[in-house]
Amino acid sequence: MSQPFRLNKEGLINRNKKISFTFNGKKLFGYEGDTIASALIANGIHLVGRSFKYHRPRGFFGAGVEEPNAKLQVEFNGHSEPNVNATEMELVEGLSATSQNCWPSVNFDIGAINNFLKMFFPAGFYYKTFMWPKSFWYKIYEPFIRKAAGLGVASIEKDKERYEHKFEYCDLLVTGSGPSGLASAYAAAKNGAKVILAEDKPRFGGTLLTDDVSIDNLSGKDWAEKIISELKSMPNVTVKNRSQVFGYYDHNMLVMFERVSDHLEKKSKFTPRQRLWYIRAKETILSTGSIERPIVFGNNDTPGIFLSAAAKEYMKVYGVLVGKKPLVFTNNDSAYETALEFKKNNVEPIILDTREEHSSELIDEAKSKGIDIRFSHGVIVANGYKKVKSAKIGKLNKDKNSFEKIETIECDCICVSGFWTPSVHLASQSGNKLKYEDKIDAFIPDKKKQHETSVGAANGSFTLEESLKNGFENGSNLSAKITDTKTEIAIPNVNEKKYGTHDKFWCMPLPKNENPKRFVDFQNDVSVSDIEIALREGYRSIEHVKRYTTLGMATDQGRTSNLNGLQLVSNIENKIVPEVGHTTFRPPFTPITIGTIVGREVGMEYMPTRKTPMHEWHEKNNAVFVDAGAWKRPRYYKQGNETLFEASKREAKNVRENVGICDVTTLGKIDIKGPDAAEFLNRVYTNAWMKLPVGKARYGLMLREDGIVMDDGTTTRISENHYHMTTTTAQAANVLSHLEYYLQIVWPELNVNVVSTTEQWAGAAIAGPKSRDMLSKLYPDLDVSNDALPFMGYKEAEFFGVPSRIFRISFSGELAYEINVKSDNGMFMWEKMMEVGKEFGNQPYGTEALSTLRIEMGHVAGPELDGRTIPSDVSLNGLVSKKKDFIGKNSLVREAFNVESRQKIVGLIPIDRKSSIPEGSHIVQDQNAKLPNPKLGHVSSSCWSVENNNPFSLAIMKDGKNMIGKKFFAVSPLKNKSIEVEVISSHYVDPDGKRVRS
């Protein structure tokens, strides 16, 4: 099959390698080095999609990142990706592309009826139309919008590709490999600087690939190749193609998106698809070039209308003609190069130049080649629905507001040039306030805000000579400051064509009684009349006009529409463009995949997993795990077909009747050492610590400065100046930071050191009436009697040959001990305990049973210490010293903390003794009261009391201490439950705490 629009020789594609692909089901082929766009155009295909609002037929407009229309759904390598830019995606074997936003097909699109109903789609149509009446929303508006609007379809499959993040540091980052970028990188590299050169296209060289220039007697392309190969050979230089620097963040942090392997047919298993680079650069050269802007005219969105530089790029890079009967419509000299390129390939263009007849190097060359040039002319309206067939052109009068002559001429494409807009996105993102340069009708960077320097076309210099000079100088000077080396480089001789001045003209007038749509923003379907309406309706700020009309939004970010939109607003407003200002440029400059942002942090790699040394045993013994922060803790050990409820009841009951062991390794552990350690603890905890003897543990409560409880736990005096503190699992990191804050900032005079030892110790609790019997078997040589090792006692002893610490502390409320051994010995300890415990009926228990045990004892934990409770709220005011000062003490006198009806912890049991009370339920007087029903408190923790065999809950209740014996309702709208409850003491089991001391 032949390609009717492929030239025979031109281009940088590999004609020896054919690549087959499909477009909307049709089998086609292109060559290696083609983009989807160049391959389709070579095949004569221009209609690729439908526009967002009016579903008008749309074709290609650009040849790279500036493309507003050609976004396709592309399937390749087994995945489907929406909104792929056809002008950037390289062709790979077997790729299949389909048009988006059209139904049932791109050729016959029912949504196109919107085009004929356009009176219903004015600016702000979403805000106006779909607001009212409300009842229309679900049945009429929403389904309609869903069908009609939107871009591609996101895949619902799991993304099997690999994405990576990379952190890099360099002296100089150069963003763009056009002439100024190459010159900067080269000069800096010669000075010994660490340089990264990033190019978003597959080929290096930027405009050097398409401009008819020579540098030191080499063609632009050959010079670029020479520089790149030299840069690649230097160890201090990283050269990256297919890499778009899309964001400029604080402190010279730039982020780059590298397309690593989408263009490869085969890749190894671990090659990432894309890579995100976080680059911290000492200096940044912004050599991002410029983007051609269109001239606005009627039906200027018809397929077959291109930017003139894009048409030239298709010829010179891809060997593809965008048409065989071109009109070149321009207000400046650069489009003449496109016309000359057509001519070189035996295609006869007609040039329409809005300027009056004059001469310049390029105009003279075009004339001498016999090209038909019509001065003071422009395209009024393009004819043709799915492809340009002809154009109505007009001779402009002197004021360029009406026509002296109008005629229609045949053409199959229109190549338009309205001059050049520097790509200032990255400069603007860096914080640079842009300034308006009248000479080029565009914004360029102003004073530096970070370490960024814009060079070449991105800075408004449009000649090669200037760009190279600019690049060499800045690259050399910026790097010399860093490396202290300055290598002299001769600036090469340049041969380029001199351009004449451009015409400050950007929008064609309309003849009387004609009103075709003139689009400013193709991607968002914003036309001249939409902006006029917005201004008539009173929108003034350019940011408001942007949001109301959607001008410059979405993936396009106004790349081709920005300046023309501003010109329009300034004309209507009778202001100059710099007074109108510009909208904010936001990262990313081009769309990037979510996969790249996420990188490797998916699934199990989303966050670290912390496992205790006994984890494997738990796994082998049917533990069902629960996440506690990053930790995995056994929730229960499943036997047979047990449910969570049944298993936790069995485990808790066994602790109350026999003995159980629980992995408590996850508790935070902090080693505290120093001569002032006791004084420090005395200030940190609410209770007294000065007189705790060596070998004793104490329960402590710590507050924040605002009087709210921060954490609780036991701390043991290991030796004279050495303490072992435990924290809750959840607060371990916060408590350590809290202690460090006071030691480093508030009381640096205290000689104390703190360090986390959470991971150094493995811990197991032994709890239950038979725990002492079991302990005596574990330590046959140790006196473990109540006198020798009383409640809150501490001993160090050998555990079957390994050193261990024994704490007689209890969270379950039973007679209990906690044994700590070095982490490496954790599994050994656990297995020994299981072996020795058999005769006492020992069973392991998980966090669910642990909760049950502490709830029915009325021991508070996270749900009660929720950042809103003070010590008296949770009945821990006995631990608050009246004599000494401590963190948060001064806040406890606050009036609200001391009112008679202050909230307090209580216990709740259901009247029917059967219904479990959902955690989070609200306590109310009257379950049928009108909403909002006054809330008297909330249920913080619930369990099935194994001691009393009925549900029991803890609650924080207003005036709790006077509520004992009263009846209320616990209502949970979430669970749709309302349960009548009776208020009792929070200490449901062993209220006097006899068991722990037994």
Residues that bind another protein (CB under 8 A): 167, 249-253, 278, 280, 431, 449, 683, 705-706, 737, 740-741, 744-748, 884-885, 890-891, 893
Quick one: how many helices (H) and strands (E) in the chain?
24, 50
Nearer to another protein, 132 or 741 (CB): 741
Q: For residue 137, which amino acid is it? A: W
> Residue 227: which of 204, 194, 202 has the closest Cα?
204
Nearer to another protein, 235 or 748 (CB): 748
Query: What minimum distance in Å lies between the beta carbon of 585 and another protein?
Result: 17
Nearer to another protein, 267 or 280 (CB): 280
Nearer to another protein, 113 or 746 (CB): 746
Read off φ and ψ for residue 473, nearest 5 degrees: -65, -50
Nearer to another protein, 401 or 737 (CB): 737
Nearer to another protein, 493 or 753 (CB): 753
Contact call for residues 13 and 318 (beta carbons, < 8 A): yes
Cα gap 723→716, rounded to integer Å: 5
What end-to-end distance do the CA atoms of the chain give, in Å? 94
Query: What minimum distance in Å lies between the beta carbon of 684 and another protein?
Result: 11
> Residue 563: which of 795, 331, 325 has the closest Cα?
331
Nearer to another protein, 400 or 451 (CB): 451
Contact call for residues 703 and 709 (beta carbons, < 8 A): yes
Query: What minimum distance in Å lies between the beta carbon of 255 and another protein?
Result: 9
Cα gap 934→430, rounded to integer Å: 52
Cα gap 296→521, rounded to integer Å: 10
Query: What minimum distance in Å lies between the beta carbon of 430 and another protein?
Result: 11
Please give the DSSP secondary-structure letter assigned to residue 588: -
Give the residue carrying structure tokens 């003897």.
693
Query: What minimum distance in Å lies between the beta carbon of 745 and another protein?
Result: 5
Query: CA neighbours within 13 Å on the CB side: how many for 605?
Result: 8
Pairing of strands 377-383, 372-375: unpaired
Host H or E run for residue 377: strand 377-383
SS3 772: helix
For 647-698, the DSSP string reads HHHHHHHHHHHS-EEEE-TTSEEEEEESTTHHHHHHHHBSS--TTPPTTBEE
Alpha helices in 807-846 (DSSP H): 826-837
Nearer to another protein, 117 or 745 (CB): 745
Nearer to another protein, 527 or 596 (CB): 596
Pairing of strands 660-663, 843-844: parallel
Give the residue carrying structure tokens 């050994």.
828
Nearer to another protein, 430 or 658 (CB): 430
Nearer to another protein, 137 or 278 (CB): 278
SS3 862: coil
Nearer to another protein, 126 or 278 (CB): 278
Query: What minimum distance in Å lies between the beta carbon of 886 and another protein?
Result: 8
Cα gap 588→244, rounded to integer Å: 10
Q: For residue 542, which amino acid is it? A: I
> Residue 821: which of 842, 803, 840 has the closest Cα?
803
Nearer to another protein, 737 or 928 (CB): 737
Nearer to another protein, 275 or 316 (CB): 275
Please give the DSSP secondary-structure letter assigned to residue 751: -
Cα gap 554→538, rounded to integer Å: 24
Burial of 661 (0-12, 13-18, 19+ CB in 10 A): buried
Q: For residue 228, which amino acid is it? A: I
Nearer to another protein, 247 or 768 (CB): 247
Cα gap 942→645, rounded to integer Å: 12
| Beta-ladder partners of 28 | 21
Query: What minimum distance in Å lies between the beta carbon of 251 and another protein?
Result: 4
Query: What minimum distance in Å lies between the beta carbon of 517 and another protein?
Result: 42
Nearer to another protein, 388 or 736 (CB): 736
Alpha helices in 191-333 (DSSP H): 220-232, 308-318
Q: 520-531 as b/e, with b when 16 or more CB fall inside 10 Å?
A: bbbbbbbbbbbb
Q: In whole angstroms, what separates CA 815 from the centre of its chain? A: 51
Query: What minimum distance in Å lies between the beta carbon of 706 and another protein?
Result: 5
Q: Sheet containing 14-23: give its strands across.
A: 26-32, 14-23, 96-99, 71-76, 79-85
Cα gap 246→591, rounded to integer Å: 9
Cα gap 796→793, rounded to integer Å: 11
